Chains A and B, each alone.
Chain A
Amino acid sequence: MNLRIVHALLSRYIFLYTRSPVRLVEMVFWPVVDMLVWGFLTVYLRQSTSGEFPHFISFLLGAMILWDILFRAQQGVAISFLEDVWTRNLLNIFVAPVRTCEYLTATFAVGVLRICVTAVALVLIGWLAYSFNVFVMRWWLIPFFLNLMLFGWSLGIISTALILRWGQAAESLAWAVPFFIQPVVAVFYPVSVLPAWLQPIALALPATHIFEGMRSVMQTGTMSWAPLLWAFALNLVYLAVAGGFFVWILNYTRQRGLLTKFSTQ
């Protein structure tokens, strides 16, 4: 891994974002809209159910912010790749001395930057509009954040591999892939709500342990380390599998001669 090359690729994305402030708006606009809708909904529910859901507003807004960390990490990888597809730059990258791991690391870094921008906006709105303090999760927030980011990267790599295989026709997967798993990872409700047969599948996904942990911390102020360790171990497995899948697809596209289609699409 050559960090000079990672820095070079990252500088390309930074040039892109600083030249086009509309991209920054996109990073903030949808999360803020979601936050406002969910926030007002929870306020309404709290008012009309005479305090039956003491933690409801916190659960929903906390879940909303944490979900966005996962989503933005995934987007950082997938959209960075698509930027190269849209600008027909992919072949220039593939014929330059850039290793796959360097390319992916640069997209991970873009994911971190995107998360920072989005998280600041959401935390501020949650605090100002709904008096929701995300730091109620205290130091637990750090492992939550890291685990969701790792899982977002895995999903981003998988989305990118699928686009690499099927071309721009599969572009919508860049946005759709996280939502395939959203109903299962128990973002807004506990795993126990899911049908019994679906629960083992949910627990096989690292994000589920994080959202369960978040609810536990918000309710009791603490949580067991076991779910965090599970999430971390699962993340390592998912990252390895996603990386292997990407390399396999990249070799497949080279074998089939599909890589060159990105210069003409």
Chain B
Amino acid sequence: MPDTDHRETLLEAVELTRKFDGVTALDRFSFKLRRGEILGLLGANGAGKTTAMNCLLGLTLPTSGQIFAFGQALHAHRIAILQRSNFSSSYVSLPGNLKVWQNLLVFARIYGVREPKKKIAELLDMLEVAHLRERVTGQLSAGEGTRVNLCKAFLNEPELLMLDEPTASLDPDIADKVRKVVRRVQRERAIGILYTSHNMKDIEEVCDRVIFLHKGRIVAEGTPEEIVKRSTEHSLENVFIKIARSGDLEDINGKEPAAP
């Protein structure tokens, strides 16, 4: 099918394969993330999302295949690409023994943020955590920590952002606020976001397009609505469960009756 989307490609994986001791964690994984798009990467535990994310961040080298960001090969232009990107994960924390402002100032300096103190204050306000500025990071609740991590991720005004389960461990109220902030920033700055989550409400609300992974392979791709429509299921959550259990694309294309 010809590619009719003319927006700039921010991130592209081409036939990405990663094997660990003979086990294929990622199998010829290809996708494009466009400017101004939020792409959800979905799949059950062990489907290959984390491996994909680690490869895209340059933490793990692929066994084969290539990664391009801003039109440049990741392996050759890693630093230039990382300068224009950022990352946040619920599972990677900032140093717990420093105050929130100290952690953010260190990263603001790494990214060369102009007027770092002003920028930090703006982001803390935006994520409604300004009152945590002087708190020691290790003493924050999970939800507070996640929002401070997001401040770090927005520091350099990235054009490409990778968010690994940003609403995990957040209560519904805060999760809703985080989703709105992510959506707002993406609209205002037309950034591309790669977003993983196990929360299908998150995905339906935030993502323009999703990719379902199963055993390292793409088994479905499209907008959340398209995928639900193509399947015999009534919700994205049911599609997720079905793929996690059967892993068969045929099943979501209507060959198996939907559960009542």
Contacts and interface: CB of A to CB of B under 8 A. Distances in A.
Interface of A: 4-5, 7-9, 11-12, 15-16, 19-20, 83-84, 87-89, 91-92, 94-99, 251, 254-255, 257, 259-260, 263-264
Nearest 8 interchain pairs by C-beta: A8-B109, A87-B95, A257-B60, A97-B82, A97-B83, A12-B106, A8-B110, A15-B102
A118 B57 CA distance: 39
B107 interface: yes
Contacts of A91: 59, 89, 92
Given A20-B97, A89-B93, A257-B51, 14 more contacts: A8-B109, A16-B95, A16-B97, A19-B97, A87-B93, A88-B95, A91-B59, A92-B152, A95-B58, A96-B107, A97-B83, A259-B60, A260-B59, A263-B91
Interface residues of B, number: 35
B112 A4 contact: yes
A265 to B, nearest CB: 12
A99 B86 CA distance: 16
Contact of A92 (B18, B51, B58, B92): B92
B17 to A, nearest CB: 13
A254 B59 contact: yes
A87 B61 contact: no
A8 B152 CA distance: 14
Interface of B: 18, 20, 50-51, 54, 57-61, 79-80, 82-83, 86-87, 89, 91-99, 102, 105-107, 109-112, 152
B110 A98 contact: yes
Given A11-B106, A16-B95, A19-B97, A95 B111 contact: no
21 contacts: A5-B109, A8-B110, A12-B106, A15-B98, A15-B102, A19-B99, A83-B95, A84-B95, A87-B93, A87-B96, A92-B152, A97-B79, A97-B82, A251-B61, A254-B61, A255-B61, A257-B51, A259-B54, A260-B59, A263-B92, A264-B91
A252 to B, nearest CB: 10
Given A9-B110, A257-B54, A264-B91, A95 B97 contact: no
Contacts of A95: 57-59, 82, 86-87
A264 B59 CA distance: 14
B92 A88 contact: yes
B156 to A, nearest CB: 9
A11 B59 CA distance: 24
A51 B109 CA distance: 59
A7 to B, nearest CB: 7
B57 to A, nearest CB: 5
A76 B86 CA distance: 28
A159 to B, nearest CB: 21
B98 A257 contact: no
B79 to A, nearest CB: 5
Nearest to B106: A12
B57 A4 contact: no
A92 B137 CA distance: 15
Given A92-B152, A260-B54, A260-B60, A99 B79 contact: yes
Nearest to B112: A4
| Residue in B83, B94, B98 with the greatest tally of chain A CB atoms within 10 Å | B98
Contacts of B89: 91, 263
Contacts of A20: 97
